[in-house]
């Protein structure tokens, strides 16, 4: 045939040119949020630690002088930064649905690319691979900074969030990176399915919200729990992520807690006696379950992302006359 | 190198319930300039998108430059009806994109020459361009990849007569110099007359006429005569009676009797007569005589008494 195309299309310059605004926004977001986390990690943690030192040195009774503002600023900035990290999957999904595929199919620029010599499958591969690398690296960096910041505060700042509080758990590990990648896949798929920018933007954000909701229900059951037993007098305690709680009977059976209250009252003691209860049990995840939980959940979310990616490729192949098409 | 640029066999495409294109069979030899004509919504855009490998057919096959549309992608140029371009890029960036995506084929000089013809500022954003300027940039993208087959969907729709004339000239030069096969659709016949040597008339998702324009015109005769006259075995595409006078467009199957005054129809008359009479039998050259094709014309009503609807028009 004539003019054999030896050279491969230069996809990266094309992609960066077409999605330049997104690249700028993503860089800006990383700088802003990364800078905030560094500020929190350094000066704000130091100031809050110093304020707690002042507070803990105060004598009981009398006036206590300590820098309360530093403690509150630390708490606020930490929460805002955590929520900002958690917003990344939604932003990625909305962008992917709206701009990456939805707008391209709505305005026909996807078809323009396909008639410029790159196959639809190659187009989608490039459109997923380059953003996935940038989103993965960027979100990974944010998560790392968040984790380092949280670790730095844990031993010095008394109001550092516990490892299992929702926003800290999600923003502290690879799970949010997986969610961001799932958001990318969900957005790309929504754009291909709906072929309209705005609809795909909304659908992708809703898809991430649904995935997250499902994850929140499933998460405690992704790893076997530890069980602690405590006496009736002390009341139940849970030194970690609580999963289930109730009463233990003399035979060792776990039954529901009738919610009577403390054994100090005669009625409750009578009720517990009737139920043959000897103590409280607590199913929970101790701190040592942090990584198993993070990694299994990350794996599950990545599997969902891979499934959505597969569906997107199948859909594109079936719709266009691409090689290896189903029909 | 195959001598067939585009070939469809029982090609069909359905959008939800509606068939946009059905049972479409034709063959376009390489080097032709082919007009795809038909009313709005006839299936012209669907046919071109199928040939460009942007849509997958429901039925049948389409062969492009001797292979499937996906394999021919690099050798085919396509400009969609609404001339999609990235609005945020400048003209120069758009052309650079074409160079990035077509390494080894890209003719940068040709791209710039076509774009420059329209007084285009290379730094202008695509979103600020007029319809005609957009068409120019879209054509530059499609032509600079040096396609062997160029598919243009309503290329001249939003151009003023001057730009239309000029761009048509660019296309004709391309066809003459590089032997590029050009397929362009339009619902305005006059727009294509004089530039095209091959016709594909599509109505209601089906091929109504296909072949060399000269052959198609030669196969038809415009006759007039007394209203009570008989047209015998000739295939009647359209007939009208005004008072005692009958005028008809027919495909003669033999010599005409002396009662009739005969003349050659114009291309526009031929197209309009077929579009006004959807029941008239289709005229498409058969490649291999197959029973599948004889069903494509629905010979019914007053249109035809004969079943000779698939006639050979080209040697």
3 state SS of B59 = strand
Q: Is residue B145 part of a domain?
A: yes
Q: Are residues B179 and B76 in the same domain?
A: yes
If one counts the domains in chain B, the total is: 2
| In chain A, domain spans | 33-54+70-222+289-319, 226-287
| Highest mean pLDDT, choosing among A52-56, B116-120, B180-184, B191-195 | B180-184
Find the CB nearest A322 among B70, B93, B96.
Answer: B70
Domain boundary among B182, B212, B242: B212
Contacts of A5 in chain B (CB under 8 A): 74, 102-105
Nearest to A314 by CA among A77, A38, A121, A168: A121
Q: Which pLDDT does position A155 carry in this prediction?
A: 85
Contacts of A18 in chain B (CB under 8 A): 86, 88-89, 97
The pTM for the full model equals 0.88
B103 and A107 within 8 Å at the Cβ level: the answer is no
Domain boundary among B191, B212, B233: B212
Give the tens place of pLDDT for each residue, B181-191: 999 998 778 77
Q: Is residue B299 part of a domain?
A: no
Give the tens place of pLDDT for each residue, A246-276: 888 888 888 888 777 777 778 888 888 888 8
Q: Which pLDDT does position B283 carry in this prediction?
A: 85
**What contacts B247, CB < 8 A, 6 or more positions away?**
B222, B223, B224, B239, B240
B16 at A interface, C-beta within 8 A: no
Query: Which one of B76, B84, B87, B150 makes the best mutation probe of the A interface by having the most chain A beta carbons within 10 Å?
Result: B84
Contacts of A100 in chain B (CB under 8 A): none
Q: Are residues B12 and B137 in the same domain?
A: yes
Q: Is residue B307 part of a domain?
A: no
Q: Is residue B87 part of a domain?
A: yes
Q: Which pLDDT does position B96 carry in this prediction?
A: 94
Grade residue B304 by pLDDT with cuts at 50, 70 and 90: very low
A130 at B interface, C-beta within 8 A: no
What CATH number does the domain containing B103 carry?
3.40.50.300
Q: Are residues B107 and B172 in the same domain?
A: yes
Q: Are residues B201 and B221 in the same domain?
A: no
What percentage of chain B has pLDDT greater than the value 90?
A: 50
Mean pLDDT, chain B, rounded, equals 85
Q: Which residues share a beta bridge with B13?
A: B21
Q: Are residues B123 and B227 in the same domain?
A: no
B178 at A interface, C-beta within 8 A: no
What percentage of chain B has pLDDT greater than the value 70?
A: 89
Q: Is residue B167 part of a domain?
A: yes
Q: Are residues B97 and B163 in the same domain?
A: yes
**CA B91 – CA B46 distance, rounded (Å):** 28
B86 and A109 within 8 Å at the Cβ level: the answer is yes
pLDDT of B298 higher than 50: no
Grade residue B305 by pLDDT with cuts at 50, 70 and 90: very low
**Chain A closest CA to B122's CA: distance in Å?**
16
Q: Is residue B294 part of a domain?
A: no
A314 at B interface, C-beta within 8 A: no
Q: Which pLDDT does position B303 carry in this prediction?
A: 37
**CA A320 – CA A325 distance, rounded (Å):** 8
Q: Are residues B218 and B198 in the same domain?
A: no
Q: Are residues B44 and B130 in the same domain?
A: yes
Least confident of A236-240, A292-296, A299-303, B16-20: A236-240
Q: Is residue B67 part of a domain?
A: yes
Closest residue in chain A to residue B64, using alpha carbons only: A321
| Highest mean pLDDT, choosing among B45-49, B192-196, B274-278 | B45-49
Nearest 5°: CA angle at B23, between B20 and B26?
A: 110
pLDDT of A81 higher than 80: yes
A40-45 mean pLDDT: 94
B56 and A327 within 8 Å at the Cβ level: the answer is yes
Q: Which pLDDT does position B286 carry in this prediction?
A: 55
pLDDT of A325 higher than 60: no
Query: Which strands make up the sheet holding A226-231, listed edge to edge?
Result: A226-231, A277-285, A241-249, A254-255
**CA A226 – CA A235 distance, rounded (Å):** 18
The residue range of the domain holding B267 is 213-287
Query: Which one of B21, B30, B56 makes the best mutation probe of the A interface by having the most chain A beta carbons within 10 Å?
Result: B56
Grade residue A63 by pLDDT with cuts at 50, 70 and 90: confident
Q: Is residue B302 part of a domain?
A: no
Give the tens place of pLDDT for each residue, B47-101: 999 999 999 999 999 999 999 999 999 999 999 999 999 999 999 999 999 999 9
Please classify residue A73 by burial: count the beta carbons closer than 10 Å to its beta carbon, then call 0-12 exposed, 13-18 middle and 19+ buried.
middle
Q: How far is residue A17 from each of residues B84, B89, B95, measured CA to CA in Å? A: 16, 8, 12
Give the tens place of pLDDT for each residue, B4-16: 999 999 999 988 8
- Give the Cβ contact number of residue A88 at 10 Å: 24
**Chain B closest CA to A191's CA: distance in Å?**
17
**Do the Cβ atoms of A146 and A270 come closer than 8 Å?**
no
Buried b / exposed e across B270-289, counting CB within 10 Å, b at 16+? bbebbbebeebbbbbbeeee
Q: Are residues B188 and B217 in the same domain?
A: no
Domain boundary among B165, B189, B212: B212
Q: Are residues B119 and B240 in the same domain?
A: no
**Chain A closest CA to B117's CA: distance in Å?**
22
**Chain A closest CA to B124's CA: distance in Å?**
15
B150-158 mean pLDDT: 90
Q: Are residues B98 and B235 in the same domain?
A: no
């Amino acid at each position: 045939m004539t003019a054999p195309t030896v050279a491969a299309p230069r996809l990266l310059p094309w992609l960066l040119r077409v999605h330049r605004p997104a690249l700028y926004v993503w860089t800006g977001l990383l700088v802003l949020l990364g800078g905030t986390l560094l500020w929190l990690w350094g000066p704000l943690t130091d100031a809050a630690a110093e304020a707690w030192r002042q507070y803990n040195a105060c004598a009981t009774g009398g006036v206590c002088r300590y820098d309360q503002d530093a403690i509150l600023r630390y708490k606020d900035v930490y929460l805002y930064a955590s929520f900002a990290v958690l917003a990344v999957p939604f932003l990625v999904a909305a962008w992917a649905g709206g701009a990456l595929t939805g707008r391209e199919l709505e305005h026909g620029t996807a078809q323009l690319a396909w008639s410029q010599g790159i196959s639809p499958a190659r187009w989608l591969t490039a459109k997923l691979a380059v953003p996935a690398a940038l989103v993965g690296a960027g979100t990974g960096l944010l998560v790392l900074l968040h984790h380092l910041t949280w670790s730095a505060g844990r031993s010095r700042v008394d109001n550092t969030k516990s490892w299992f509080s929702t926003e800290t758990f999600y923003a502290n590990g690879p799970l949010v990176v997986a969610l961001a990648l799932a958001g990318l896949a969900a957005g790309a798929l929504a754009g291909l399915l709906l072929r309209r920018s705005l609809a795909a933007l909304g659908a992708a954000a809703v898809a991430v919200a649904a995935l997250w909701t499902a994850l929140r229900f499933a998460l405690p059951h992704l790893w076997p729990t530890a069980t602690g037993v405590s006496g009736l007098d002390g009341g139940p305690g849970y030194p970690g992520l609580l999963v289930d709680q109730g009463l233990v009977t003399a035979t060792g059976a776990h039954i529901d807690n009738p919610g009577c209250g403390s054994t100090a009252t005669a009625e409750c003691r009578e009720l517990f006696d009737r139920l043959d209860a000897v103590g409280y049990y607590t199913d929970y995840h101790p701190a040592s379950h942090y990584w198993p939980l993070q990694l299994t959940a990350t794996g599950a979310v990545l599997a969902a992302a891979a499934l959505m990616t597969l569906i997107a490729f199948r859909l594109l192949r079936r719709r266009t006359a691409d090689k290896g098409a189903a029909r | 190198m195959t001598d067939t640029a585009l070939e469809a066999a029982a090609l069909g495409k359905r959008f939800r319930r509606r068939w946009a294109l059905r049972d479409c069979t034709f063959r376009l030899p390489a080097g032709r300039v082919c007009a795809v004509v038909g009313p709005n919504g006839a299936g012209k855009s669907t046919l071109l998108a199928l040939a460009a490998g942007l849509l997958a057919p429901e039925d049948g096959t389409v062969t492009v430059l001797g292979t499937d549309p996906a394999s021919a992608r690099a050798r085919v140029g396509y400009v969609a009806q609404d001339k999609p371009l990235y609005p945020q890029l400048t003209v120069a960036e758009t052309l650079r994109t074409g160079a990035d995506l077509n390494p080894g084929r890209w003719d940068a000089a040709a791209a710039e020459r076509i774009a420059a013809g329209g007084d285009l500022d290379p730094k202008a954003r695509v979103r600020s361009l007029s319809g005609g300027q957009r068409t120019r940039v879209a054509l530059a993208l499609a032509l600079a990849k040096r396609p062997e087959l160029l598919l243009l969907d309503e290329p001249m729709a939003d151009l003023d007569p001057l730009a239309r004339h000029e761009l048509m000239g660019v296309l004709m030069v391309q066809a003459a110099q590089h032997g590029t096969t050009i397929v362009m659709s339009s619902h305005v016949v006059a727009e294509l007359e004089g530039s095209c040597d091959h016709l594909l008339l599509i109505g209601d998702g089906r091929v109504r006429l296909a072949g060399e324009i000269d052959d198609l015109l030669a196969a038809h005769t415009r006759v007039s005569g007394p209203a009570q006259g008989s047209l015998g075995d000739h295939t009647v595409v359209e007939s009208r009676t005004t008072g005692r006078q009958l005028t008809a467009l027919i495909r003669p199957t033999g010599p005409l009797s002396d009662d009739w005054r005969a003349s050659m129809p114009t291309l526009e008359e031929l197209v309009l007569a077929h579009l006004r009479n959807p029941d008239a039998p289709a005229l498409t050259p058969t490649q291999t005589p197959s029973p599948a094709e004889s069903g494509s014309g629905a010979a019914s009503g007053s249109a035809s008494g004969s079943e000779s609807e698939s006639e050979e028009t080209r040697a």
